[in-house]
């Protein structure tokens, strides 16, 4: 299938917007010292805690799927796992931000 002009221009526009946002984020982050060692350590540990909790949550969810099989269960499990990951990351970042 040959890409159309609209799809090519949409890709270029989207890539340009993402690059602009990334440039502004890193420019502001370097002024605020967002990328120093403390920031990296806090968010590295927060990600570790978040992924551990998410992995355990997924393990228990798969056991639930094996026991109770329903048509909408896969979506509910995926949405719940994503929510747990985001919430646990936020809590982990707050805890490690106060400790370090």
Start-end of H helices in the chain: 5-31, 37-67, 73-99
The model's pTM is 0.46
According to the model, what pLDDT value does residue 51 have?
A: 83
Whole-number pLDDT of residue 19: 95
DSSP string over 70-90: -TTHHHHHHHHHHHHHHHHHH
For 3-25, what is each residue's pLDDT tens digit? Answer: 788 888 888 999 999 999 999 98
Integer Cα distance of 61 and 53 in angstroms? 12
pLDDT one-digit tens code per residue, 39-72: 778 888 888 888 888 778 877 877 777 677 765 6
């Amino acid at each position: 299938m040959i890409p159309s002009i609209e799809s090519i221009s949409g890709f270029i526009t989207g890539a340009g917007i993402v690059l602009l946002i990334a440039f502004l984020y890193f420019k502001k982050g370097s002024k605020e010292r967002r990328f120093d060692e403390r920031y990296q350590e806090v968010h590295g540990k927060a990600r570790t805690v978040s992924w551990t909790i998410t992995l355990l949550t997924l393990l228990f969810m798969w056991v639930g799927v094996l026991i109770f099989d329903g048509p909408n269960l896969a979506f509910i499990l995926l949405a719940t796992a994503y929510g747990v990951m985001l919430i646990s990351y936020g809590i982990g970042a707050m805890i490690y931000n106060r400790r370090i």
